[in-house]
Structure 1
Amino acid sequence: MHEILLALDEGGADLAVLTETKRKGRGNEDLDNYIHLWSGVDKSRRAAAGVSILINKRHKNYIKTYEYRSERIMTLTLSIYGYDTTVIAVYAPTDDSTQQLKDDFYADLSGILDAIPHHREVILTGDLNARVGSRFDHDVVGQFCEICVNNSGEMLVNFCAQSSLKILNGFFEHKKIHRYTWERPSLHQKSVLDYFICRQRSRFGWQDCRVKRGPNCGSDHYMVEAKMVCPFVMKQPSKQPENEEQQKLPKEQRWNLCLLQQESIRTLYQRRLAEELRTRLPNNNVETEYENIKAALQSAAMQALGPMPVRKMKRKPPWFTEEIKKLIEDKNNLFNNWLANKNQNSRDRYRSKNRELKKKIKETKDRFWEEKCYQIENYIGGAQSTEVWRTIRSLKTNETNKTQI
């Protein structure tokens, strides 16, 4: 995942969709400059499918709602420069899957689109596992895609036609190497399986949709990038505050409540609170009495507890060393060299470096966990037994990195 984040940061991506993640459960977390939302199978089931959405933190305040539909579909609704937009991340069944599984998938997708208001923009993207071909003068499929069409492709085209959607991949002319989203070099197979889909009458100005072959994270799929511009929207002038006090509204303060577990701190807080309440005269007005009690609670908390310390999120995993970073850069350079030359020697060098990187990551992870386990074992039963739980809590990334949206 860290390798993906580096590629997104380098490309300045605002939003990305990942498919076939095989991550179980549902949730969200902070990952460097992005907020990660994921939806997968239940933890009691075998890992399969899975979709994720990564959105840059600078757009966090524009998020309205998000919904985990299934291990194949999740939605995110946000406001893009005044335009309400629903992003649908999908991972469709393969063409070899049963017809019932495909019908169920498109039935769920149709239900989601039917519930979206017609004025709202829609961006449907992900691995559709369908080959839609190329068509001239068509509302759904453009002329710059590929030739082959399969059963899943026909289903996708019919679905888009019924929902007034269009597949952007075929409407922008590029070299063939920048059209194919999936490739298996050993069998000389390539096809277009990943798409960007929008409304046929979208108000967004779509400028481009193409494959970016440089970013590489060990997948046989290439990254598909779409660019768009939003038309200017005149915003209504906001109501100005009547006085300076309203202009400087205080931010919500969080107190270090965990200190109340200590008896001495709890007694100190009770004593400070009693003193604060005595200094404030009772009032018959309910609003005034509420403000007095609120001020007393905050003042006592400031004196006895103090504010909650701000946790700085980890910028990278603890096992991510400079040596691994250098290996990733070397692997990416060899990958780009192979894409440019397409000879067996370049491919063998890339695969060798990729194996070396995976081996190094595994060794570094194993060494990291061995050191942590040894550290915990030394703490157990000793004078520093409280450090055991502190160390374990620091390793629970799903809880410490969870973000509030």
Structure 2
Amino acid sequence: MQYVKGHENLIVMGDWNAVLGEGVEEKVTGEYGLGTRNERGERLIEFCNKFQLVIANTLFKNHKRRRYTWKRPGDTGRFQLDYIMIRQRFRNQILDCKAYPGADIDSDHNIVVMRSRLKFKTLVRKNQYAKKWDTEVLRNDEIRLKFSNAIDTAIRNSAVGSTVEEKWTWLKKAITEVGKENISTKKVAAKKPWVTEEILQLIDERRKYKHVPGKSGIQKYKSLRNEINRKCREAKTKWLQEKCEDIEKDMIVRRTDSAHRKVKTTFGDIKSNGGNIKSATGIPLLNAEERAGRWKEYIESLYEGEDLSDVIEEETGVDLEEIGDPVLESEFKRALED
């Protein structure tokens, strides 16, 4: 235990010849043990408290035949002696833990199985991110042809290895060197894609007047803020227009997959806006009857003064069998939602 660091995920398991018994021991055991605790069980509790461990197979409400791990010869007594323990800070990874008395193993003990889910955190040091090639420049025919010819030349001039590993090493080296010369790496973009260098410079300048005392500092700060907002609106409008033109070009040449990807990247998933229904004077309507009345007013205003005699067909002289069943309220609501 002393060689394992405190932040590491640790699992301790084995035959302890200790009976913990039923009853909760804070942060160490659950209430689903078996039997009556003995002296070795007390020592195991002390061990778990010292190293902040929790005993997994006492946490789940299983039948007693799924709790015992050893039975006395002649089946005169059943005991829970085998345990799986993990650190208390990783307790939420345990999905289930129980004994399998029917497992065919060469032992007088039952096998104990813990099912867990592990999620490892990606540790990335600050300002150390993997650089990515700006492959968008290869859409330019001239750059793509230059890049392809440079790779062909580099491969022909490279020393070919005898093994697969050596061949892959020099091929990777050739492509990487040509990429550095012909393709730049992606720059870290601003928080918003339409933010330009001019806007970033204005933001840096505005930051200088954030804590300047006096009216002059406040006025300068507000002036720069208004200018930044105006330029952001102009830059966003221009950026969206360019994106829409790019999407339209893809649709013209039937590159629908690229167009849909750009639409999703640019505009995101469309979410319906569930705003409140308001009256004609702008008061929110919370009552169902008031909402229905507002819908009635709205629809009547749409068709006000219209001659609907050619649109609405009256059911006169129609056989009852041809009319069909009346529309249910649930059918109407489903059709309205669709």
TM-score where L is the length of structure 2: 0.36
Greater strand content: 1
User: Which is richer in helix?
Assistant: 2
Of structures 1 and 2, the one with the larger relative CO (CA 8 A, separation 6+) is: 1
